[in-house]
Amino acid sequence: MPLTSFPPGFVWGAATAAYQVEGAAHEGGRTPSIWDTFCRIPGKVRGGDTGDVATDHYHRFREDVRLMSDIGLGAYRFSVSWPRVQPTGRGPASQRGLDFYRRLVDDLLAHGIQPVLTLYHWDLPQELESAGGWPERGTAQRFADYAHLVGEALGDRVGSWTTLNEPWCSAFLGYAAGVHAPGRTDDAAALRAAHHLSLAHGLGAQALRAVLPRRARISVVLNPNDVRALTGSAADLDARRRIDALSTRIFTGPMLRGAYPDDLLADTAGITDWSFVRDGDLDVIKHPLDWLGINYYTPSVVSAATDNRPSPGPSAYPGAGGVVFHQPPGPRTAMDWTVDPSGLHELLTRFAHEAPGLPLAVSENGAAYDDGRPDGRGVVHDPERIAYLRGHLAAVLRALEDGVDVWGYFVWSLLDNFEWAYGYSKRFGIVYVDYGSLARTPKSSARWYGEVIRTGRLPAAG
Ligand code: IFM
């Protein structure tokens, strides 16, 4: 009998990130992050958009918590803005900055919503980037100091902690492809950044463990890539192996097993000798986790190149020249990402197998569509998003049925928000945001999600 309802106690949440929603970029002593700088480089962000105002969550968080409560959310996954709570990336914390998060967390708790806090969702203080950024080892130690400050300040009221969100994006979109802040295109620097992000995770987890109560749960959130080979040929399977190493095993190797995969080291040997990995680093990185977050949107399909055409420009996969990406078949979202829930099932069962006993959460999943404005009755109809969520929640149910320990699901995102290099042109929210008035309107997907939460089941399609 297929499972038709989610287990009692399953946690239903929604996620956001500081730079994407907070705004108030120049308030309360906050200094610029790499994203404030990047947004001001002409041509980097669509429409010249910035996170200066975003959804103004900083001022409107009480309204947003009310919306979460109306939907019936049990958890809110948000991130702390590093330059808001430690403006130069070093030294003492800003109490004004921390007070914002104290107020937010207290309001969540007053509404019975569990806070799930991410320390780093891509907004490195600009001062630290000017000192070298993630390719520099010192940035990992700075992160541990910052983790200590936030842990000390909020540990009495936040039970669930994540060190980093999607370090792959920070390292490879930021330092190799250059399409995210800080916009560098240096393959060797990107591989160093990846290692120092992992080290930051390990040192940060140690720092948190030292200050948090025993009951606190510590995690990292990854965006593992469900990579498929275009054909079963040896060359295409090898292309798949390379991309798997460069996107997923580069983090899960050190974090879960305490070692970099040999094939990754071999594939990147022409770029770096990895001498930046020092004795003891891998033990630090393999810090025990209480749960692992998996962000999933779409799978990848790859093949080996059949000609010697030069690569079209900087790539997010250093060491994988000769690998061609193909659009997977199926319907697409407004990001042009193929909708394929089987990838989520695949990843959940993979990590249940690779990290036995480690509880998993779907820490982000959702879709951008070109939603219209609220209609005359104030309704935003988003049937495609409902179909997307339904399909992916059914994949979670299948994984639960297969015995995978998944404790929660977080839709990305609570609100329409700043979608990085796409600016405000892509809407991922289950709540519509009018960027003129900043008014919020729950979409029909928010009502649908509320129904799933209330009943613990997926309503029949229709
Ligand atoms: O908006 C992002 C989020 O910040 C990280 N994960 C993917 C989302 C959609 O692109």
Is 166 a catalytic site residue? yes
CA-420 nearest atom, ligand 1: 1
Mean pLDDT of 314-328: 95
- Give per-residue pLDDT as tens, 253-308: 999 999 999 999 999 999 999 999 999 999 999 999 999 999 999 999 999 998 87
Report the greatest alpha carbon distance in the chain.
64
pLDDT over 70, % of the chain:
99
* High-pLDDT (> 90) share of the chain, %: 96
Tokens of 28: 């309360």
Q: By mean pLDDT, which of 5-14, 39-48, 129-138, 313-322 is the weakest? A: 313-322
Q: Is 297 annotated as a binding residue?
A: yes
Query: Rounded CA gap, 403 and 421, in Å?
Result: 38
Query: What's residue 460's pLDDT?
Result: 84
Length, in residues, of the chain: 462
234 Cα: distance to centroid of ligand 1 (angstroms): 33
Average pLDDT of 310-333?
92
Average the pLDDT over 148-171 and give the result: 98
Residues 6+ apart with CB under 8 A from 297: 335, 337, 364, 365, 366, 367
Residue 4 has pLDDT above 90, yes or no: no
User: Mapping DSSP to helix (H, G, I), strand (E, B) and coil, where does residue 299 land?
Assistant: coil
pLDDT of 72: 98
Please choose, from the candidates 425, 230, 413, the residue with its C-alpha nearest in 3D space to the C-alpha of residue 336: 425
pLDDT-derived band of residue 1, with 50, 70 and 90 as boundaries? low
What is the Å distance from ligand 1's center to 419 Cα? 7
Nearest to 86 by CA among 131, 20, 129, 149: 149
Residue closest by Cα to atom 4 of ligand 1: 17
Could you say which of 22, 166, 346, 384 is catalytic?
166
CB 136 less than 6 A from any atom of ligand 1:
no
For residue 462, what pLDDT is reported?
67
CB proximity list for 362: less than 8 A, separation 6 or greater: 293, 294, 295, 296, 344, 348, 392, 396, 406, 408, 409, 410
Select which of 364, 384, 401, 451 is catalytic.
Answer: 364
The predicted pLDDT at position 3 comes to: 82
* This prediction's pTM: 0.98
Q: Is 412 touching ligand 1 by the criterion CB < 6 Å?
A: yes
* Average pLDDT score, the chain: 97
- In order of start, what are the domains of the chain with their CATH numbers? 11-227+247-298+336-455 (3.20.20.80)
Report, as an integer, the average pLDDT of 301-330. Answer: 90
pLDDT of residue 223: 98
- CB distance 22 to ligand 1 below 6 Å: no
Two structure tokens written together for 109? 């708790």
C-alpha of residue 136 to centroid of ligand 1, in Å: 25
| Secondary structure (3-state) at 102 | helix
Give the integer Cα–Cα distance in Å for 447 and 462. Answer: 14
Q: How does pLDDT run across 56-102, given as a tens digit for each residue?
A: 999 999 999 999 999 999 999 999 999 999 999 999 999 999 999 99
How does pLDDT run across 374-405, given as a tens digit for each residue? 999 999 999 999 999 999 999 999 999 999 99
How many angstroms is it from 296 CA to the middle of ligand 1? 10
Secondary element (H or E) of residue 354:
helix 342-354
The pLDDT of residue 2 is: 76
CB of 166 within 6 A of ligand 1: the answer is yes
- Cβ contact 453:11 at 8 Å: no
165 among the known binding-site residues?
A: yes
Rounded to 5 degrees, what angle do the CA atoms 404, 409, 413 make?
150
Q: Give catalytic status of residue 364 as yes or no.
A: yes
Q: Tell me: is residue 20 an annotated ligand-binding position.
A: yes
Mean pLDDT, residues 121-127 taken together:
98
What pLDDT was estimated at residue 309?
72
Query: Are the C-beta atoms of 151 and 211 separated by less than 8 Å?
Result: yes
